[in-house]
Structure 1
């Protein structure tokens, strides 16, 4: 099931890996010197692993039935840190630490090396990824037969040296009224974002400037060196594919087998391109949802053809912008943004989104919300629950902002962004209110440092036919830039290769033999009677 809580814009989700449901939990760790004095001294400082309560495991998404399995794997896990230069151009200067875990291969006699794992982001932690991947999908356990699985928190995240700006980095200046933004409202949000970002980027500029994909790739190579391994094998998802592509471009002779799932574009440094392309895919995919609804017109009553459904949903969005729903048990009026959110549903969410759309058409304004609406929007305005004491940081919003804005080469000026906003709503009339770009890097004072890619090697690049966070065409773009083999996943999901058993079998085969045993899999599919778990928030 997918749980989607609306970020302040799709901008926040664009960079995120499959940890979209993760909470942005602040951690006030600042860059501090670590042990060692040069890359030549790279070594792992092994230490006792943190221990987690049942409450913490639940917070991390580990179901009660899976907690014994988690603890069994965690008992086999080693934890440590590697000291790396804050600025790799000054290897003898200030140092920070990168936290890692190692789940040693079970078949030591036939061990094939180390396999580092990254879940995406940027800003997502991978410290627990070897364990959670196996717990969530037993088919992935075979990876641990012959590989030491390496989890790690990239610099800026989790147990690694990090820094968190106060407030909501990149979030803007609160909420405006209902419906599309006026020019004045847009300018106010732009000014609020710019002020917040200027303060954030100045709060620890020396550290934040070094949150780049290239720096993270150099850290990963020092992890390889500290583990005394000749090559680094790697599996990465979403932003993890960018990290993998940059690593193999910088260190081709030290790169072993590599699988990149839900591949970002080689133009990922251009956020205007990324947001615009993604928004186009969401609007296109609404056509698939509209046909699904048309085929079930007797149930949902939204139209007998895809065209009729599209017209009805668009009319609902416009009516809601002009006259939002107001329910006694939901604090905030619900305007066309909710309709756009529902229209952006993926196939695993169709049943739930369709029921909400159906119920909204007959909802009584000024009364209690229909049960389906309350389930999706009842928590509107609520923040994530506070983490239990001792919980690891699964996501760092400051790190995400820094990684994205430090590499963004698109415009940050008010007028071009206002033009993009209006063009976006015009070009994507049904879903555009949900996917519209916000000026997330406005005011960021640190200069762009564009990552570089080169050809060589042969990674497997898996793309998902109907997903929107990292659209399928980007897989081909990345292959053209760096080489490799395209593997097609026939689903709407983001990063599902490690979680859909039929796909995982190909990934395991590749890391065992160097061949995936085919070039496609079905991926995650909806099952009869099983809905998604949508959650709408502003």
Structure 2
């Protein structure tokens, strides 16, 4: 399945640095799909090539949504958005950003200046969804199975190879080589053109930071104001970034430990040290005897997931308390189409870059990371389906400093999902193209929704609305919660 790298690189080069004037929009807007529960949005589709090296071949439809500006005198253009992933849909995201239920929704000043655009990336949701035919048992393992020994790494390798084979033989296997970040960036430029816009602004979070970095690298002159929130390193969601999740959890966990220690009603300890000890006690106990379907591996992964926001601390403490005392667990929210979410995630992770192939190498890294990052390091160093994936059809996009100085990065100091170390590497790669705002707060997501740092929020909003960006990097101090 490996295709010619030279041809792919030529396609990328021809797409860069080309200026283009505005053309009339060719899109017809209408109601969104029934599962997009946002009456403020309107939707359409944009036809794109499956393989951009053969643009006259098979095409797929990308589902696009719009939250229109209602202020024609202040409207500047369009703001494309991506909430992260990979494997997450973005069609409903503009409506989510504008929802006043959140402590920090998208300011009206931003909504006035842009039509806020969402889309399901290729392979996801309403945009030619892919499948790997996940079984319920495979879904239950989710993304972070925690091996306790080298033998369990080998067992996980067998499971991972089976999943990779399922992806390669599924009904959507013909799409597998083309579900990549670079192709999604090319789709974004087709969306721009279909909207009749000479440039786009962009707001991307988490994995969306890498997508935005790739877009503004491939199409620098078509990029207006680029905001990247909670940043991956310049290699995207590669092997290094996945292992770095363990560092992120170690840096974030003390925030939860402080919360639990100051809320003794949960019975998890009265000091952060006791709360940390309770974590390892529960993990070991559940590894021996699962409770209500939660084993030690799933306990560790659930804890990691609920560290993403401060508002998740109450739910996490309640889960720990239930597991510790035998009380019923709170109901878990359902995952919409977990097969597609997990399958499309794999397509991007494995299609963007090469992952190590050696099972013995993973066994060594698991042993080392179990000691260095005891909270979850063995899981983030573990083997997965990417070890058995075909080689990518083109090399990763190299993020660099060529192009306009129009990127603003915003980053929490204690982010479990995209730790500060990756953001610093991306900032260095961008050079003078970027400025970075760091906020002394924890969690994943530094701008709006649950993020309350006024300094960080105001700096990003000012950039989006006026184009004014800090002359140098900014460090925002902690604010009272």
Length-normalised TM-score, structure 1: 0.72
1:427-442 correspondence runs (5 A): 427-432=372-377, 435=380, 437-442=382-387
- Please list the CA deviations of residues 353-399 of structure 1 after superposition, one character each: whole Å capped at 9, or x if unmatched: 446556656x3xxxxx225xx22xx66xxx93777xxxxx9963222
The aligned counterpart of 1:302 is: 269
CA distance in 2, matches of 1:301, 1:171: 31
Task: Find the counterpart in structure 1 of residue 5 from structure 2.
Answer: none
Aligned with 1:209: secondary structure?
A: helix
The aligned residue for residue 278 of structure 1 is 245
Indicate how the Cα distance of structure 1 residues 358 and 269 shifts in structure 2: closer, same or farther if over 3 A, else same. closer
- The match for 1:161 among 106, 122, 128 is 128
Question: Residue 461 in 1 paired to residue 443 in 2?
Answer: no
User: CA-to-partner distance for each residue in 1:493-516, whole Å, 9 max, x for gaps?
Assistant: 222413146454443321111125
2:73 alignment partner, SS class: helix
Contact kept in structure 2, 1:339 and 1:357, CA below 8 Å: no
What is the aligned-residue RMSD (CA, Å)? 3.7
Q: CA shift at 1:90, angstroms?
A: 1.6
SS state at 1:489 partner: strand
Write the distance in 2 (CA, Å) between the matches of 1:343 and 1:257.
32
Measure how far apart 1:435 and its partner are: 4.8
1:491 paired residue among 441, 445, 448: 441
Aligned runs of 1:466-477 on 2, under 5 Å?
466-477=414-425
Deviation at 1:442?
Answer: 2.9
How far apart in 2 are the matches of 1:172 and 1:385?
A: 10
Runs of 5+ in structure 2 lacking a partner?
1-19
Indicate the residue corresponding to 2:86 in structure 1: 122
1:204-225 C-alpha deviation (Å, 9 max, x unpaired): 4442211111111111112111
Which residue number corresponds to residue 105 of structure 1?
69
Q: Decide whether aligned partners of structure 1 residues 287 and 117 sit closer, same or farther in structure 2, where only a CA change above 3 A counts.
A: closer
Shift of 1:180: 4.5
Match of 1:261 among 229, 250, 264: 229
Give the match for residue 327 of structure 2: 370
CA distance in 1, matches of 2:160, 2:339: 24
Q: Determine if contact 2:123/2:179 at 8 Å carries over to the other structure.
A: yes
Q: Does 2:199 align with 1:231?
A: yes
Q: Is the 8 A contact 1:105 1:146 kept in 2?
A: yes
Provide closer, same or farther for how the CA distance between residues 284 and 133 of structure 1 changes in structure 2, counting only shifts above 3 A: closer
Aligned to 1:510: 463
- Tell me what 1:15 maps to: none
* 1:484, distance to aligned residue in structure 2 (A): 0.5
Per-residue deviation at 1:276?
2.1
Equivalent residue in structure 2 for 1:424, among 369, 377, 380 = 369
Aligned residue number for residue 451 of structure 1: 397
The answer to whether the 8 A contact 1:165-1:398 is kept is yes
Q: Which residue of 1 aligns with 2:213?
A: 245
Unaligned runs of 5+ in 1: 1-38, 61-69, 364-368, 388-392, 527-538
- Equivalent of 1:189 in 128, 135, 156: 156
SS in 2 for 1:490: strand
User: In the aligned structure 2, how far is the partner of 1:370 from the partner of 1:267?
Assistant: 43
1:421 CA displacement:
2.0
Q: State yes or no: 1:201 paired with 2:168.
A: yes
Q: Give the structure-2-normalised TM-score.
A: 0.79
Aligned residues: 443
Alpha carbons of 1:169 and 1:276: their partners in 2 closer, same or farther (altered >3 Å)? farther
> What SS does the aligned partner of 2:234 have?
coil
Equivalent pair of 2:68/2:115 in contact (CA under 8 Å): yes
- CA-to-aligned-CA distance 1:14-65 (integer Å, 9 cap, x gap): xxxxxxxxxxxxxxxxxxxxxxxxx99996442532363xxx56xx6xxxxx
> Helix, strand or coil: the match of 2:400?
coil
Which residue is equivalent to 2:4? none
Q: Secondary structure at the match of 1:462?
A: strand
How far does residue 193 in structure 1 lie from its aligned partner after superposition?
1.6
Taking the aligned partners of 2:298 and 2:123, their CA distance within structure 1 comes to 33
User: 1:521 and 1:195, CA in 2 relative to 1: closer, same or farther beyond 3 A?
Assistant: same
1:422–1:478 CA distance, 2 compared to 1 (3 A): same
Verify: 1:338 aligned to 2:299, yes or no. yes
SS at match of 2:384: coil
* Structure-2 separation of matches of 1:460 and 1:506: 9
Deviation, 1:113, is 1.1
CA distance in 2, matches of 1:42, 1:163: 32
| 8 Å contact kept, 2:355–2:386 | no
Q: What residue in structure 1 maps to residue 9 of structure 2?
A: none
Change (3 A) 1:238 1:170: farther
Contact 1:173 1:193 in 2 (8 A): no
